[in-house]
């Protein structure tokens, strides 16, 4: 399928589909903890992001990755670019992208998606939130093609320097029932 065919076809579908390398991938439902983690971060970030003139969305906003010829639906996305403030269909210049890891998506989130997201010149941080244990990982853009890695666990404050934001990791995991290895994603 070409990009043009995908962009014409996908809005007519009952479920969302990501696009990469000419292939389409159905976006299946996630677990309640997965959803809770994304919403907890969204809730904590939203007032801060709006004060900065940025826009934050959860899961249903498509991100165009021109260099990779891909379209993805991150769990949380923040854009501070002027064109994205007026966007109605997709973001093209996100500042922050967050994916909540599940056993079924972790490999793709760490591999293929990370490689694609790194090609976005606007992207400053890529965050992975673990749905099985209290752990947040942040890849922060360094100089040139370098990405710096920061890991956070229980008792830590998660820092998102691209947005000048800090919060206790416990806030992200508040009232979340962590899923266990091998549990179904239903």
- The CATH number covering residue 132 comes to 3.90.1570.10
Q: Is residue 1 part of a domain?
A: no
Q: Is residue 9 part of a domain?
A: no
- How far is it, in rounded angstroms, from Cα 36 to Cα 81? 27
Per-residue pLDDT at 68 = 79
Per-residue pLDDT at 179 = 67
Q: Is residue 23 part of a domain?
A: no
Q: Is residue 166 part of a domain?
A: yes
| Residue closest to 15 by CA, chosen among 27, 24, 4 | 27
- How far is it, in rounded angstroms, from Cα 175 to Cα 30? 17
Q: Is residue 22 part of a domain?
A: no
* Structural domain boundaries enclosing 129: 31-172
Q: Is residue 17 part of a domain?
A: no
pTM: 0.92
Q: Is residue 178 part of a domain?
A: no
Q: Is residue 80 part of a domain?
A: yes
Residuewise pLDDT in 10s, the chain (186 residues):
899 999 999 999 988 999 998 999 988 778 889 999 999 999 999 999 999 999 999 988 999 998 778 999 999 999 999 999 999 989 999 999 999 998 888 999 999 999 999 999 999 999 999 999 999 999 999 998 899 999 999 999 999 999 999 999 999 999 999 866 555 443
Per-residue pLDDT at 105 = 87
Domain total of the chain: 1
């Amino acid at each position: 399928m070409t990009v043009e065919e995908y962009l014409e076809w996908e809005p007519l579908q009952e479920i969302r589909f990501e696009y990469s390398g000419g292939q389409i991938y159905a976006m299946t439902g996630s677990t309640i903890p997965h959803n809770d983690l994304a919403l907890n971060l969204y809730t904590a970030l939203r007032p801060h992001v709006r004060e900065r003139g940025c826009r934050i969305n959860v899961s249903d906003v498509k991100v165009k990755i021109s260099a990779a010829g891909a379209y993805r639906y991150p769990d949380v996305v923040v854009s501070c670019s002027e064109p994205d403030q007026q966007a109605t269909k997709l973001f093209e210049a996100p500042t922050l992208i967050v994916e909540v890891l599940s056993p079924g998506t972790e490999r793709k989130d760490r591999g293929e998606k990370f490689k694609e997201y790194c090609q976005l010149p606007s992207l400053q941080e890529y965050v992975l939130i673990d749905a099985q244990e209290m752990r947040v990982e942040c890849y922060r853009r360094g100089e040139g093609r370098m990405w710096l890695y920061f890991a956070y666990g229980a008792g830590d404050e998660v820092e998102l320097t691209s947005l000048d934001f800090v919060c206790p990791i416990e806030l992200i995991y508040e009232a979340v029932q962590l899923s266990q290895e091998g549990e179904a994603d239903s």
